[in-house]
Amino acid sequence: MKLQEYTVSKHNFEECMKCTICTAYCPVLQVNPLYPGPKQAGPDGERLRLKDPYFFNYALKYCMNCKRCEVACPSGVNVADLIQAARIKYDSSKPKLRDQLLASTDFMGTVARPVAPIVNGVTSMGIAKTAMDALLKIDRQRTFPKYSPRSFERWLKRREKEQAAFPEQVAYFHGCYVNYNYPQLGKDLVKVLNALGVGVKLLEKEKCCGIAMITNGMSEKAAKNARHNVAALRKAAVDGGLKVVTTSSSCTLTIREEYPNLLGVDNADVRDSIVMATRYIFEKLEKGATLKFKADFHKKIAYHVPCHMEKMGWGVFSEKLLRMIPGVEFTLLDSACCGIAGTYGFKKENYAAAQAIGAALFDQICTVNPDVVACDCETCKWQIEMSTGYTVANPISILAEAIE
Ligand code: SF4
Ligand code: SF4
């Protein structure tokens, strides 16, 4: 079956009862008058598009695919899926060079990593930012994530034997961010899981989950990565009987939901084996496993639930884990989008909207004034750190710091 045929009839637009609740929850609609909003771009637009593709509206590109409309919809309409599927099916424009570069995280990571200090230096220089702004339309005010000179995969491969000696094993879908930018998060996960008697394995070979490719008009490439990843996950989960843990809420949502719903890649036999590490650890502790916490650990933590974590309904596991740490003063931040949505907020035409969307969240963080903001998404981390100056850490890293 071709990708385009699959996406036509997949989504439940008929179940929309036109209540308009989704429009109140769409962060883009609040700040960008060019965007038609979830109801019009989703179920209403789908009725028209199915009659005549002429009704496809290029303003659908302003949708960030945050899924907040889906969380809000009382009828369970897959509003964001309808919008993304329409973009995949009807948008025939070729992705710009900028969008290809932003979405090719594996390629960029592979090229940048060996010369990471140079790349990190150049991308933080004002002149380079001005050039990228002028030539590529990547907003010059954006701060770029740093690359690591050593990959997480290499680090873990060197510890294969040591990890295999643990009585229990999990596989880890680390994602591009851990591998190319911040291996420390992967190391923190290994530390926590080892403390629970669990060893960590790499998948046979993972590729970028493809989330940025989907939103940047590269769905065929995303589907190719999805087929590759599902085969690797099948080897670990079905053949090897392992749980697969993750530390990025967006990678997780993509693998579990977007692969079948947007890319037509069947993941039914592996989907339930893929869980966020915070959920996996919480459930282990519930069953009686224990962690030994430092007696002198004290931190004021504000937890931001990323939009994709809200969509999965799993923020509660990170929250409960963080609340479990003795010495933590915990604040759950109001439900809000930070505005970056992966590559969205890097683009010059979206930068102002991204910052306006995140403003309420940034204000609340400043009011709470925490030692650290906890968050399960790397792009939220970039956005919050850049916009507030507060340090953001994955709940797994906070847990790793808190245990003996
Ligand atoms: S919230 Fe759901 S039912 Fe209500 S208008 Fe939006 S899509 Fe339709
Ligand atoms: S996915 Fe987000 S940006 Fe897109 S329509 Fe829904 S709420 Fe709005």
For 301-323, the pLDDT digits (tens) are 999 999 999 999 999 999 999 99
Residue-level pLDDT at 158: 97
The model carries a pTM of 0.93
Q: Is 39 in the pocket of ligand 1 (CB under 6 A)?
A: yes
The pLDDT value recorded for residue 2 is: 40
Rounded distance, CA 29 to CA 159, Å? 48
Domains of the chain, start order = 3-90 (1.10.1060.10), 292-402 (3.40.50)
What is the pLDDT confidence band of residue 21, given thresholds at 50, 70 and 90? Answer: very high
Instruction: Determine the pLDDT at residue 92.
Output: 87
Cα dihedral across residues 345, 89, 217, 211: positive or negative: positive
Pairing of strands 328-332, 299-303: parallel
Torsion, Cα of 53, 69, 88, 218 (10° steps): 150
Candidate from 16, 66, 262, 335 with most ligand 2 atoms within 8 A of CB, to mutate: 66
pLDDT tens per residue across span 155-210: 999 999 999 999 999 999 999 999 999 999 999 999 999 999 999 999 998 999 99
Q: What is the pLDDT of residue 10?
A: 61
Tens digit of pLDDT for each residue in 116-150? 999 999 999 999 999 999 999 999 999 999 999 99
Q: Please tell me the number of the ligand nearest to residue 311's CA.
A: 2
- Strand pairing of 392-393 and 372-374? parallel
Tell whether ligand 1 has an atom less than 6 A from the beta carbon of residue 77.
yes
Q: Report the chain's C-alpha Rg in angstroms.
A: 21
Residue found under tokens 């998060």: 185
* Residue 198, ligand 2, Cβ within 6 A: no
Question: What mean pLDDT is predicted for residues 326-341?
Answer: 96
User: Could you tell me how far CA 392 lies from the centroid of its own chain?
Assistant: 15
Give tens-digit pLDDT for 4-13.
443 443 678 8
pLDDT bin (cut points 50, 70, 90) of residue 223 is: very high
